[in-house]
Amino acid sequence: MVDLNVRINQLQLSNPVMTASGTFGYGLEFQDLVPLEEIGAIIVKGTTQAPRQGNDYPRMVETAQGMLNCVGLQNKGVDYFCEHIYPQIKDINTNFIVNVSGSSPDNYAACAARVDALDHIPAIELNISCPNVKDGGMAFGVTCEGAASVVRAVRQVYHKTLIVKLSPNVTHIADIARACESEGADAVSLINTLMGMAIDIERRRPKLSIRTGGLSGPAVKPVAVRMVNEVFHAVKIPVIGLGGIMTAEDAIEFMMAGASAIEIGTANFVDPTVTMKVKQGMTDWLERHGCKSVREIVGVV
Amino acid sequence: MVDLNVRINQLQLSNPVMTASGTFGYGLEFQDLVPLEEIGAIIVKGTTQAPRQGNDYPRMVETAQGMLNCVGLQNKGVDYFCEHIYPQIKDINTNFIVNVSGSSPDNYAACAARVDALDHIPAIELNISCPNVKDGGMAFGVTCEGAASVVRAVRQVYHKTLIVKLSPNVTHIADIARACESEGADAVSLINTLMGMAIDIERRRPKLSIRTGGLSGPAVKPVAVRMVNEVFHAVKIPVIGLGGIMTAEDAIEFMMAGASAIEIGTANFVDPTVTMKVKQGMTDWLERHGCKSVREIVGVV
Amino acid sequence: MKKYCLDLRVSAVERLSVKHVLLKLTQEAPLPAMQPGQFVEVRVDHSPSTFLRRPISIHYVDVAHNELWLLVATIGDGTRQLGRLQPGDEVSCLLPLGNGFSMPPKASNRVLLVGGGVGIAPLLYQGEALRKAGHNPVFLLGGRTASDLLELDLYKEVGEVYVTTEDGSLGEKGFVTNHSVLEGGQFDLIQTCGPKPMMLSVARYANEHAIECEASLENMMACGLGACLCCVEKTDEGNLCVCKEGPVFNIKRLLW
Amino acid sequence: MKKYCLDLRVSAVERLSVKHVLLKLTQEAPLPAMQPGQFVEVRVDHSPSTFLRRPISIHYVDVAHNELWLLVATIGDGTRQLGRLQPGDEVSCLLPLGNGFSMPPKASNRVLLVGGGVGIAPLLYQGEALRKAGHNPVFLLGGRTASDLLELDLYKEVGEVYVTTEDGSLGEKGFVTNHSVLEGGQFDLIQTCGPKPMMLSVARYANEHAIECEASLENMMACGLGACLCCVEKTDEGNLCVCKEGPVFNIKRLLW
Ligand SMILES: Cc1cc2nc3c(=O)[nH]c(=O)nc-3n(C[C@H](O)[C@H](O)[C@H](O)COP(=O)(O)OP(=O)(O)OC[C@H]3O[C@@H](n4cnc5c(N)ncnc54)[C@H](O)[C@@H]3O)c2cc1C
Ligand SMILES: Cc1cc2nc3c(=O)[nH]c(=O)nc-3n(C[C@H](O)[C@H](O)[C@H](O)COP(=O)(O)OP(=O)(O)OC[C@H]3O[C@@H](n4cnc5c(N)ncnc54)[C@H](O)[C@@H]3O)c2cc1C
Ligand SMILES: Cc1cc2nc3c(=O)[nH]c(=O)nc-3n(C[C@H](O)[C@H](O)[C@H](O)COP(=O)(O)O)c2cc1C
Ligand SMILES: Cc1cc2nc3c(=O)[nH]c(=O)nc-3n(C[C@H](O)[C@H](O)[C@H](O)COP(=O)(O)O)c2cc1C
Ligand code: FES
Ligand code: FES
């Protein structure tokens, strides 16, 4: 049997397949369809200190082999998460990771500190790359100083594995990754969505309520693979790769580019059982190619 | 009849449909298939002061609703263009625009000056955004200073319509556009390709000879529309929009986002007659919607 | 209700009009339980411009033949491709999704089912459920023209059917909300599905006459599972996912 | 030669093996003139993962029936979708592209046509052209196993046919370049199409025996028109476009 275990700092994954924040709810939404404990890790919805209503409808547009979304971090706040969601997920035998968002280093830190106290949450993913909120969000992710300021504030109060999720809407993503690394990030994940727009030409207005949204899905895969490879060669901490993964072959491509683990996002909408297919497909591929461990292929390109 | 005329500074186009550099050769390659004089303008291959062999094969990979290329500006140099190509195209009754590339402000300027002397070339498009060459190319397009330095050098020697083609691989494309505008650019065109990568997992190596390439086609359209809209609201000079246009509806979307004219690139490979279909489709759409002139829809969003 | 992702086989395809097709889907094993008003997220193969699944209402479940019926209006590439399916083809279906229509609390209630366009789809199955539960469903179905009104015999087997067309080619001329049955009729519950402007005026009528009313919304969806939060509608409880908390809502909850 | 972008109609589809299909395409008007060794850029519909056209050799032109034949190996999504075409379907074809094989200068030359795998496709039409011009084409066709060797009767109508298979299930066992016909045969010209390793060893043989040799390359293509410069091959004149200067090259020009 191929060894699928991977480790991201203190985080032990039974396999490298995770689900991307905002695309898999709290996992519970998929439990009829997927054995949750067989997923490496489930990254839950973007969570903020205070509750957020998110943006108005329409929040979604289909595009060529992809989609734009501007959900805007709708969530009931970290307190609600701790009190109402956490009890439902804490005994499911996989890693639940909270995707933490905010509008200032302080409230990122406040939210992270709250999650630090939850025994069964071994890691957080700091979302400094959400293109769909005005306050904060991507603003921190597009400069080295902004990224550093959030990571620094959170690192002071957060003691478990700290993953920082990078925005692809930048000139030099490797610089941002290095800035996060120097402030003590344990890993980086990339990419979040590419900022895009679609226009309803009949109504002469943007299709999304807040004009722009984030592009995800197979359309962005080549950009994501390039960025993962760039960051892999720039930092020493592990890289988590995502962006358009639909198949086991896509996942292997990301791992060869330098990802120690991968996240599946939009593909869950097309095939809610895709995580299991990717996991099985990776196992088969690795076996067929005589690999003993999935770790052998990380960063070979 | 709907008025399709548009003007980009001194450049008069009988219709807003142009062909994107590197995707339509010198136009001659398509003359059996498309009446060239019915195209608004034909932007020819990237041309440099000295001849270039370009990159090694493989230079192309198909991706989800798009493609990566790393042609790397293969061309026989501006002298060859002036002596051998120009005589073949100069009497074709449309606008031929030369896409000028270089590795220093000086050799951009040298190339532009040579083209300035050609009576039947009413404009150039400065390519400060090619991701596929090591020297120069995109390096100039990703900083305001770099962009400004090239535009400044060229503006001193080039007296006709000067279009600057912007790279999407930047954090703030509107800043770059403004930098070009302040140095005297007459228009900006965007987007060039997004930097991407694809890996041959069987051979464990990049699919492209120089690892990375530029992503084009429908996959990038949402990013392109967003950037056109951003730049439209940031500068006063006309914007030319491109990136994934396949249909008349796509072209109208770009014009509503702020493009005064559009370029069609990769779509020429899928349907070599696409320019005529887009032109006809735009006419029909505008007529159906009671527009007297295509200019009415520019930037309505 | 437990959700499934099943590869169903097309057992029949009936072209009901130039732009409507009736798909009958089946599998070896018995189909899972589904409720009227719930829907299916259908995967569309062979359509380069269709990336996400398409939500389609459960039109009818023929338990005897183990068949799920979908009534599809072919308006874009995705639905057109569904219309091109052939018997024997497989279709990936995620189902049953969302919450269906409710059953009236009291016995023998008179329920008005108002459908417009392809919004008539979920009402057939709901009508049958009502009838079986001892209620008296009345259908009020509207279309632009006669050919939009499909399978009227099937609806007539289940309840009284009243019809409007905008061009007057069948039934009363005009919109459903102008139909004379609304003047006399004493209804205890209205359930409606169709274009938003129609549902809004049905809701206005229901409010005016103090009749309970449920509307089935058709917001654009990605996951269909309540996971992506793309399909939200503003309600008295904030933004709710139509795919999970709906698609059927009591109109009292909606801020539309 | 003038190029056309035509919507041709599928007149017949013949499945020649599990992974090979023969497509016959036609239209009302007479098909344009095409030369052996030229190719077609075929548009693939209904395949979400196929964005660009696919280059396919002109396998044969049946002038009597106004049919263009394409022999397709179904190796990926694009070619698999081509294999699913039905009579009556339309296929957009950009043709004829590139330069074909040359004709030997002298009369009654003995020409060896070496094909491997689906690379045998362009050789049938070239063989016929050679025969009509009074030359004597000899086919040497190789495959992995007997079922890879298709339409041998058609080839036999045009010239002598020698065959190799890697597993020995038909003809001589081994590779084409080991076939005994090469030992005795006195050839004036070799024309070859197939996997690159095969063509390289054919080229080596031709060089050793000082025989003129042309090879048809299969570089990956986007435009097929010499416009994008994606399909280049290194030659004595620098990077040349295979789609425009080739696909057939005299091996003397190639730096492979
Ligand atoms: C819960 C639910 C149940 C549905 N039940 C049925 C049904 O039983 N039968 C049926 O035929 N259709 C039904 N629909 C609508 C159906 O999902 C859409 O018609 C379909 O997604 C269109 O896909 P397409 O690819 O053909 O069109 P596209 O090319 O995606 O769209 C064509 C045009 O329709 C618009 N459009 C697409 N979907 C929607 C939407 N949901 N709301 C508003 N505008 C939209 C697009 O913006 C575009 O202008 C239902 C929708 C929902 C949410
Ligand atoms: C001038 C020319 C003539 C051709 N004639 C024929 C013909 O007559 N019959 C026929 O069946 N095929 C022919 N081919 C090859 C055919 O174009 C490819 O098999 C086809 O493009 C594969 O498309 P796909 O979508 O099925 O596979 P894809 O999914 O695109 O590819 C499947 C695999 O094949 C590889 N591949 C695809 N195309 C090529 C290529 N051109 N060179 C090397 N590797 C490639 C891919 O990298 C991938 O690994 C010809 C190619 C050229 C350039
Ligand atoms: C509907 C939707 C909601 C998302 N919400 C979040 C979020 O809350 N936090 C976050 O970091 N990323 C969010 N993302 C981004 C994804 O996690 C992922 O980075 C992106 O979609 C690229 O991966 P994919 O192409 O596999 O979807 C969201 C994406 C989608 C499509
Ligand atoms: C094969 C190829 C070659 C290209 N060469 C050039 C070039 O020489 N100069 C340039 O400015 N852009 C070049 N481009 C970029 C296109 O002009 C265009 O900006 C890009 O492809 C996006 O538009 P599209 O999606 O319509 O193709 C090239 C693109 C392709 C696909
Ligand atoms: S469609 Fe995803 S939450 Fe409703
Ligand atoms: S494929 Fe475009 S130049 Fe050959």
Please say whether the structural domain D4-97 has been given the CATH code 2.40.10.120.
Answer: no
pLDDT at B136: 64
Q: For the segment A231-271, what is each residue's pLDDT rounded down to a tens digit?
A: 999 999 999 999 999 999 999 999 999 999 999 999 999 99
pLDDT at B56: 96
Q: Can you tell me the mean pLDDT for C140-158?
A: 94
Q: For the segment B126-177, what is each residue's pLDDT rounded down to a tens digit?
A: 999 877 777 666 789 999 999 999 999 999 999 999 999 999 999 999 999 9
Q: Given the DSSP bridges, would you call strands D248-250 and D212-216 parallel, antiparallel or unpaired?
A: antiparallel
Check if B130 is active-site. Answer: yes
CA distance D137 to chain B (A): 33
Residue C185: band (very low, low, confident or very high) from pLDDT cuts 50, 70, 90: low
B98: tokens are 């030369």
Q: Can you tell me the mean pLDDT for C33-37?
A: 97
pLDDT at D105: 81
Q: Which CATH number fits domain B6-54+73-195+213-297: 3.40.50.80, 3.90.1150.110, 3.20.20.70, 3.30.420.40?
A: 3.20.20.70
Question: Taking a C-beta distance cutoff of 8 angstroms, is the pair B232, B258 a contact?
Answer: yes
Is A165 one of the annotated binding-site residues? yes
Residues in CB range of D124: below 8 A, 6 or more apart: D59, D60, D151, D154, D155, D158
Of the residues C54, C80, C230, which should be mutated to test ligand 1's pocket, given the most ligand atoms within 8 Å of the CB?
Answer: C54
**How would you class A174 by CB atoms within 10 Å of its CB: exposed for 0-12, middle for 13-18, buried for 19 or more?**
middle
φ and ψ at residue D41, rounded to 5 degrees: -100, 115
User: What is the distance between the alpha carbons of residues B277 and A32, in angstroms, rounded to a whole number?
Assistant: 48
Question: Taking a C-beta distance cutoff of 8 angstroms, is the pair B171, A170 a contact?
Answer: yes
User: What is the distance between the alpha carbons of residues A174 and A232, in angstroms, rounded to a whole number?
Assistant: 8
Average pLDDT, chain C: 95
| Helix pair angle (A248-257, A274-288), 10° resolution | 70
Give, in order, the Cα–Cα distances in Å from A115 to each of A20, A112, A141, C43, D155: 18, 5, 21, 37, 74
Residue A135: band (very low, low, confident or very high) from pLDDT cuts 50, 70, 90: low
Of B130, B144, B180, B291, the catalytic one is B130
pLDDT at A1: 85
Is A136 one of the annotated binding-site residues? no
User: What is the distance between the alpha carbons of residues B107 and B130, in angstroms, rounded to a whole number?
Assistant: 15
Say yes or no to pLDDT of B52 above 90.
Answer: yes
Residue C105: band (very low, low, confident or very high) from pLDDT cuts 50, 70, 90: confident
User: What is the distance between the alpha carbons of residues A142 and A172, in angstroms, rounded to a whole number?
Assistant: 9
φ and ψ at residue C128, rounded to 5 degrees: -65, -40
Question: Ligand 5 pocket, C241 CB below 6 A?
Answer: yes
Cross-chain residue pair A199–B63, CB shorter than 8 Å? no
Say yes or no to pLDDT of C149 above 90.
Answer: yes
User: What is the distance between the alpha carbons of residues A20 and A45, in angstroms, rounded to a whole number?
Assistant: 9
Give, in order, the Cα–Cα distances in Å from A38 to each of A16, A33, A244, B185, B223: 11, 12, 21, 57, 35
Long-range contacts of A235-238 (CB under 8 A, 24+ apart): A235/A174, A235/A177, A235/A178, A235/A181, A235/A188, A236/A181, A237/A9, A237/A181, A237/A185, A237/A186, A237/A187, A237/A188, A238/A8, A238/A9, A238/A186, A238/A187
Angle at B127 between CA B123 and CA B133, to 5 degrees: 150
Ligand 6 centre distance from Cα of residue B124 (Å): 24
ipTM (interface pTM): 0.96
Cross-chain residue pair D227–B30, CB shorter than 8 Å? yes
Say yes or no to pLDDT of B226 above 70.
Answer: yes
Give the containing element (helix H, strand E) for A115. helix A105-116
Ligand closest to Cα of D99 equals 2
Residue B1: band (very low, low, confident or very high) from pLDDT cuts 50, 70, 90: confident
Residue D107: band (very low, low, confident or very high) from pLDDT cuts 50, 70, 90: confident
User: What is the distance between the alpha carbons of residues D212 and D205, in angstroms, rounded to a whole number?
Assistant: 10
Q: Given the DSSP bridges, would you call strands D90-97 and D110-116 parallel, antiparallel or unpaired?
A: unpaired
Dihedral (C-alpha) B214, B215, B217, B223: value to the nearest 10 degrees? -120
User: What is the distance between the alpha carbons of residues A50 and A107, in angstroms, rounded to a whole number?
Assistant: 9
Give which of C217, C215, C240 is closest to C229, Cα–Cα. Answer: C240
User: What is the distance between the alpha carbons of residues B242 and B263, in angstroms, rounded to a whole number?
Assistant: 5
Q: Is C88 on the interface with D (CB under 8 A)?
A: no
How many Cβ pairs within 8 Å bridge chains C and D? 12
**Chains near D (3 or more Cβ pairs under 8 Å):** B, C
- Give helix then strand counts, H and E, for chain A: 10, 16
Is A258 one of the annotated binding-site residues? no
Q: Is C49 on the interface with A (CB under 8 A)?
A: yes
Q: Can you tell me the mean pLDDT for B180-201?
A: 98
Give which of A79, A71, A22 is closest to A50, Cα–Cα. Answer: A79
End-to-end CA distance of chain D: 28
Residue C221: band (very low, low, confident or very high) from pLDDT cuts 50, 70, 90: very high
Question: Ligand 5 pocket, C222 CB below 6 A?
Answer: yes
Residues in CB range of A219: below 8 A, 6 or more apart: A63, A64, A65, A66, A244, B64, B65, B66, B218, B219, B220, B222
pLDDT at C109: 82
Q: Given the DSSP bridges, would you call strands B6-8 and B259-264 parallel, antiparallel or unpaired?
A: unpaired
Give, in order, the Cα–Cα distances in Å from B113 to each of B87, D37, D250: 18, 43, 40
Provide the H-helix boundaries in chain C: 77-83, 121-132, 152-158, 181-184, 196-208
User: What is the distance between the alpha carbons of residues A252 and A225, in angstroms, rounded to a whole number?
Assistant: 11
Say yes or no to pLDDT of D155 above 70.
Answer: yes
Question: Taking a C-beta distance cutoff of 8 angstroms, is the pair D194, D120 a contact?
Answer: yes
Give the containing element (helix H, strand E) for D140. strand D136-143
Ligand 5 centre distance from Cα of residue D86 (Å): 38
Pocket of ligand 3 (CB under 6 A): A 20-23, 45-46, 69, 71, 73, 99, 127, 130, 165, 192-193, 216-217, 220, 242-245, 264-267; C 228, 230
**Chains near C (3 or more Cβ pairs under 8 Å):** A, D
User: What is the distance between the alpha carbons of residues A293 and C114, in angstroms, rounded to a whole number?
Assistant: 60
Give the containing element (helix H, strand E) for C193. strand C189-193
φ and ψ at residue C168, rounded to 5 degrees: 75, 10
| Helix pair angle (B221-232, B173-182), 10° resolution | 50
Q: For the segment D173-213, what is each residue's pLDDT rounded down to a tens digit?
A: 999 999 999 987 689 999 999 999 999 999 999 999 999 99
Domain boundaries, chain A: 6-54+73-195+213-297
User: What is the distance between the alpha carbons of residues B55 and A277, in angstroms, rounded to a whole number?
Assistant: 37
User: What is the distance between the alpha carbons of residues A115 and C222, in angstroms, rounded to a whole number?
Assistant: 29
- What are the chain D neighbours of C48 within 8 Å (beta carbons)? 46-48, 50-51
Give which of B68, B72, B64, B67 is closest to B45, Cα–Cα. Answer: B72
Q: Is D225 on the interface with B (CB under 8 A)?
A: yes
Say yes or no to pLDDT of A156 above 80.
Answer: yes
Ligand closest to Cα of C240 equals 5
Residue A136: band (very low, low, confident or very high) from pLDDT cuts 50, 70, 90: low
CATH code reported for the domain at C110-216: 3.40.50.80
Q: Is A176 on the interface with B (CB under 8 A)?
A: no
Domain boundaries, chain D: 4-97, 110-216
Give which of B167, B107, B163, B164 is closest to B139, Cα–Cα. Answer: B167
Of the residues A132, A169, A193, A228, which should be mutated to test ligand 3's pocket, given the most ligand atoms within 8 Å of the CB?
Answer: A193
pLDDT over 90 percentage in chain A: 96
Q: Is C92 on the interface with D (CB under 8 A)?
A: no
Q: Is D48 on the interface with C (CB under 8 A)?
A: yes
Q: Is A113 on the interface with B (CB under 8 A)?
A: no
Mutation for C interface: A24, A30, A59, A75, most C CBs within 10 A: A59
CA nearest ligand 2 atom 44, residue: D220
Cross-chain residue pair D51–B22, CB shorter than 8 Å? no
Q: Can you tell me the mean pLDDT for A122-141?
A: 83
Give which of A266, A262, A299, A300 is closest to A281, Cα–Cα. Answer: A262
B201: tokens are 């997992």
pLDDT at A48: 96
Residue B3: band (very low, low, confident or very high) from pLDDT cuts 50, 70, 90: very high
User: What is the distance between the alpha carbons of residues B19 and D206, in angstroms, rounded to a whole number?
Assistant: 44
User: What is the distance between the alpha carbons of residues C59 and C53, in angstroms, rounded to a whole number?
Assistant: 17
User: What is the distance between the alpha carbons of residues A200 and A207, in angstroms, rounded to a whole number?
Assistant: 5
pLDDT at D184: 74
Give the containing element (helix H, strand E) for C165. strand C160-165
What HEC string does chain B produce? CCECCEEECCEEECCCEEECCCCCCCCHHHCCCCCHHHCCEEEEEEECCCCECCCCCCCEEEECCEEEECCCCCECHHHHHHHHHHHHHCCCCCEEEEEECCCCHHHHHHHHHHHHCCCCCCEEEEECCCCCCCCCHHHHHHCHHHHHHHHHHHHHHCCCEEEEECCCCCCCHHHHHHHHHHCCCCEEEECCCEEEECEECCCCEECCCCCEEEEECHHHHHHHHHHHHHHHCCCCCCEEEECCCCCHHHHHHHHHHCEEEEEECCHHHHCCCHHHHHHHHHHHHHHHCCCCEHHHHCCCC
- What are the chain B neighbours of D50 within 8 Å (beta carbons)? 62
Of D48, D50, D51, the CB nearest to C47: D48
Q: For the segment C56-77, what is each residue's pLDDT rounded down to a tens digit?
A: 999 999 999 999 999 999 999 9
Q: For the segment C169-179, what is each residue's pLDDT rounded down to a tens digit?
A: 999 999 999 99
User: What is the distance between the alpha carbons of residues B205 and B203, in angstroms, rounded to a whole number?
Assistant: 6
- What are the chain D neighbours of C83 within 8 Å (beta carbons)? none
> Reduced to 3 states, what is the DSSP secondary structure of residue C213?
strand
Q: Can you tell me the mean pLDDT for C185-207?
A: 94
Residue A16: band (very low, low, confident or very high) from pLDDT cuts 50, 70, 90: very high
Is A15 one of the annotated binding-site residues? no
